[in-house]
A and B are shown apart, each in its own frame.
Chain A
Amino acid sequence: MEPMEKRSVSDFAISNASVAQPVSASLAKALRRLRINDKVFHSITRAAAFFVLFLLSAIVVSLIIGAAPALQKFGFGFLTSERWNPVTENFGAFAPIYGTIITSLIAMVIAVPIGLLITLFLTELCPMWLRRPIGIAIELLAGIPSIIYGIWGLFVLAPFLQAHVQPFLIDLFGNVPVLSTLFAGPPYGIGILTSSLILAIMVLPFITSISRDVFEAVPPMLKEAAYGLGFTTWEVVRYVVLPYARVGVIGGVMLGLGRALGETMAVTFVIGNAHKVSSSLLAPGTTIASTIANEFTEAVGDIYTSSLIALGLLLFVITFTVLAAARFMLMKIERRQGCA
């Protein structure tokens, strides 16, 4: 039972309307029409709300049905096999899964510190009159369609990395044991690292905007007390703001991770679409979403199509888990704020 006092009078208005004695027959008719209107509108809105639930279940069911032939044929081996051969109709999802996870993780490693530093700037250092314009500018990055990041990554970022950054990295780490395998091989320009950089730029605004919200929710009293004790700005952020905002920041990071995992077009342009797992970050690879985008319309045969839909199902399961965890954490912080 929900607490009654939270309800407004309007929750009872209609049931009480029937108590009123109709003065005349025409008034009774009008009242009845209004009541019917009300019932109909209620049912329509409820149907629309349930449609949202239905939509998600329909998506899950259609993906499972579409993926069933491939999953039946390859079984659990679909997850662990690196093979992707349309000619012999032998498919395994390991390379795309690896590519999806590694690009997203590197993107987060780059974007989280930068995002938090921007948040620090916006909440502690920036003069008031500049906060709104800079905040909006950073959020505009989220508004740019992903295909624009793709075309920019392919024609601007990849050639730049190929000419200036990647040869430098190869030379720099050439003799260091572990790093030399991570940064090995010819500088293609496109590849895992380039995709990760593009993804990092794309998730940056999400991390910034959510951590900004939770940073600003820290009670000013706590911060002022710390400043009063002689904390430096960095110490206030490190020992007061971050511990207080931790759950929200993690939620924001997970939300960004969910975006990065499912990002399609930008990655498709710059990853190179090679179905193999290589130890070098400079080598081309593939992700689940870019494999589907590249091959779906050209897929011939039921098993090929079904394998691609099975990839889609996998992507859905991965992103659903991450997003659900993110929402759960953000909901927790909202509830805490609601109590305070």
Chain B
Amino acid sequence: MCMSQTMSAANGLYARRRRRNGVVLTLSFAATAVGLGILVLILGTLVVESFRGLSMKVFTEMTPPPGADGGLLNPIMGSLIMTVLGVIMGTPIGILAGTYMAEYGRFNKITHVIRFINDILLSAPSIIIGLFIYELVVAPMGHFSGFAGALALAVLVIPVVVRTTEDMMNLVPKELREASSALGMPRASMIAHISYRAARAGMITGVLLAIARISGETAPLLFTALNNQFFSWNLNAPMASLPAVIFQFALSPYADWQRLAWVGAMIITFAVLALSILARALSGSRK
């Protein structure tokens, strides 16, 4: 009798543990479903909402005044110009700094400090970068400009590129470097011909990720490039950008503007997602 009591108590314990396990596993399944569901919901909304406003005009006409027909040509061009400039300015600095950390200063104390600071920069709020460029460029010049916007984006590019360059060059086998040094290759040539070549795919991935990051950035552009109703090549004047136009149009009371905001949102999202998938495919194929 005593025996059967112990048995049933043990059975109760097992049942309770199994039940608890079942509950947690169900919850974890549900959480994953929620996460995936949100992704589908956001992308679905974007496609459905932007479908109503999508036409060729989006790519051929300027942003309209409220109530009129128009497109997103000037913000698309503005975004492209500032993104390209930002990448051109930021990438070389990032690659060179990453090179120093992985090749020359790998065992220096200072490299640890730089890595730490770079990681802070990597996740610092981008609106602070906007304030910084405002103080540095916009306030002294006295007006907003596309150049200031590109500069703010460049500051965002640097930490991404530094991080991926260093990581990728650290993965280059030491033996390759030693072999080239043993053949009498100077260090700079060794880096250019061996390390860069071996780490190339990873470094390109880093640049793609940086482009993906900055093409959706709004906060740093708000008080550097501001916005512009018209298309201009002039880097010394305010310049339109897709995110800034989405911000302005989405919060406006006009239905046409809101529709264009959705179209802009769709363009940015799919461009950014395509870039990050491309970057992933590039780094994945190397492994």
Smallest CB separation, A33 vs chain B (Å): 10
Total interface residues on A, CB under 8 Å, equals 97
| Sample of 14 A–B contacts (CB below 8 Å) | A9-B182, A13-B184, A45-B104, A52-B97, A53-B113, A63-B132, A120-B24, A120-B28, A145-B218, A152-B45, A261-B125, A262-B123, A264-B126, A289-B219
Q: Which single member of B31, B123, B158, B269 contacts A144 (CB below 8 Å)?
A: B269
Total interface residues on B, CB under 8 Å, equals 99
B181 touches A13 (CB 8 A): yes
B102-125 toward A: CB 8 Å interface, digit per residue (1/0)? Answer: 011101101101101111110111
Q: Is B80 an interface residue (CB 8 A)?
A: no
Q: Which single member of B36, B108, B114, B247 contacts A147 (CB below 8 Å)?
A: B247
Residue of B nearest to A308 (CB): B131
B residues in contact with A138, CB < 8 Å: 32, 35-36, 39
Q: Which B positions have Cβ atoms within 8 angstroms of A? A: 17-18, 20-21, 24-25, 27-32, 34-36, 38-39, 41-42, 45-46, 49, 92-94, 96-97, 99-101, 103-105, 107-108, 110-111, 113-114, 116-121, 123-129, 131-132, 134-136, 155, 158-159, 162, 174, 177-178, 180-182, 184-191, 212, 215-219, 222-223, 226, 243, 246-247, 250-251, 258, 261-262, 265, 268-269, 272-273, 276, 280
Q: Which single member of B131, B191, B217 contacts A41 (CB below 8 Å)?
A: B191
Contact flag A323-B120 (CB < 8 Å), given A17-B184, A37-B186, A234-B20: yes
Q: Is A136 an interface residue (CB 8 A)?
A: yes
Contact flag A324-B120 (CB < 8 Å), given A156-B45, A293-B222: yes
CA distance A282 to B212 in the complex (A): 34
Residue of A nearest to B268 (CB): A145
Q: Is A249 an interface residue (CB 8 A)?
A: no
B contacts with A: majority SS: helix
B residues in contact with A45, CB < 8 Å: 96-97, 99-100, 103-104
Smallest CB separation, A28 vs chain B (Å): 14
